[in-house]
Amino acid sequence: MKLPNHLAIIMDGNGRWAQLRGQPRVFGHIKGTRIAKKIITECSRLGVKNLTLYAFSAENWLRPEAEVSFLMKLLRRYLDKESQNLVKENIRFSIIGEVERLPKDVIDSIQKTMRATQECTGLNLIFAISYGSRQEITRAVSAIAQKVRDGDMSPEQINESVINEHLGTAGTPDPDLIIRTSGEKRISNFLLWQAAYAELYFCETLWPDFTKLDLMTALADFAARCRRFGGLKAENSPPPTQYSDEQLLH
């Protein structure tokens, strides 16, 4: 089966999952973390090369302070508990997002996990934390503008590669498939530039209910899609026409 080289997942629906059970929203986040762990292992086993998980958006800072602070503790606990397992599974960990907005202890745990896994050569696991695509693009534009102002680059040198190199995702290929759970059909400020030709897959399952089978279903759906990137697939090319362009346009 043709796998995405880069799979990105918007893990949505934790709060609703908990509320449906009469539990506080944070219960959904706890279960959601367990599901993330399972899906990471499964992607690694399948041989997916890059996996980006949207864990906390730049806009999620707007949530009640108690929920935000719980999410931060959960993230830290996940990293501290999982670091060694990631090494065992040969998974390289990194993050995208405005890391400086995170609490100091979370930043420390992120850096420790990145250091511990930096030699790993298997799955490239990227957490999007405090991540917003518009913020990422804004930063890139600002950094490029400064280089132009300082005379290190001319405006004519700005091309798509230059922009790519100034994004948090520099060095990682664009996502081939983006999965969003929970029935919402939007991107919510995730990888806007990078998703130019990503295949989108939306499913109703709330993230804490997401299973390996759901993952396989999404991957099978992806494998069956025809990606054209604006061109034509050879077998889809129209037969040669006997009419000239002028006749057709008349």
Which is nearer to Mg ion, 57 or 124 (by Cβ)?
A: 57
60 belongs to the catalytic site: yes
Q: Would you say how long the chain is, in residues?
A: 250
Which is nearer to ligand IPE, 38 or 233 (by Cβ)?
A: 38
Which window, 74-82, 89-97, 153-161, 178-186, contacts ligand IPE (CB under 6 A)? 178-186
Q: How far is the CB of 205 from ligand IPE (least distance, A)?
A: 12
Residues 6+ apart with CB under 8 A from 205: 13, 181, 182, 211, 214
- Number of other residues whose CB lies within 10 A of the CB of residue 209: 16
Q: Which does 212 bind (CB under 5 to 8 A by kind): ligand IPE, Mg ion, none?
A: none
Query: Of these, 23, 60, 135, 217, which contacts ligand IPE (CB under 6 A)?
Result: 60
Which is nearer to Mg ion, 78 or 207 (by Cβ)?
A: 207
Task: List, as one string, the DSSP characters of 176-235.
Answer: SEEEE-TT-----SSSTTTTTT-EEEE-SS-GGG--HHHHHHHHHHHHT----TTS--GG
Q: Which of 50, 10, 29, 60 is nearest to 190 (CA)?
A: 10
Angle formed at CA 165 by CA 187 and CA 188, multiple of 5 degrees: 10
Which is nearer to Mg ion, 15 or 86 (by Cβ)?
A: 15
Distance between CA atoms of residues 179 and 10, nearest Å? 6
**Tokens of residue 231, six digits:** 């061109």
> What mask, x for binding Mg ion by CB under 5 A, covers residues 6 to 25?
------x-------------
Query: Of these, 48, 71, 123, 178, which contacts ligand IPE (CB under 6 A)?
Result: 71
Residue 12 interacting with ligand IPE (CB under 6 A): yes
Residue 133 interacting with ligand IPE (CB under 6 A): no
Active-site residue identified among 5, 50, 60, 85: 60
Q: Please state at what angle helix 65-88 crosses helix 25-46, rounded to 10 degrees.
A: 20
Tell me the residue type at 50. Answer: N
Q: How far is the CB of 209 from ligand IPE (least distance, A)?
A: 12
Query: Of these, 3, 5, 16, 209, which contacts ligand IPE (CB under 6 A)?
Result: 16
Q: Which does 57 bind (CB under 5 to 8 A by kind): Mg ion, ligand IPE, none?
A: ligand IPE
Distance between CA atoms of residues 155 and 160, nearest Å? 12
Query: Of these, 6, 7, 13, 218, which contacts ligand IPE (CB under 6 A)?
Result: 13
Q: How far is CA 136 from the centre of its chain?
A: 13
245 belongs to the catalytic site: no
Q: Which residues are catalytic?
A: 12, 60
| Footprint of ligand IPE (CB under 6 A) | 10-16, 54-57, 60, 71, 182, 184, 186, 188
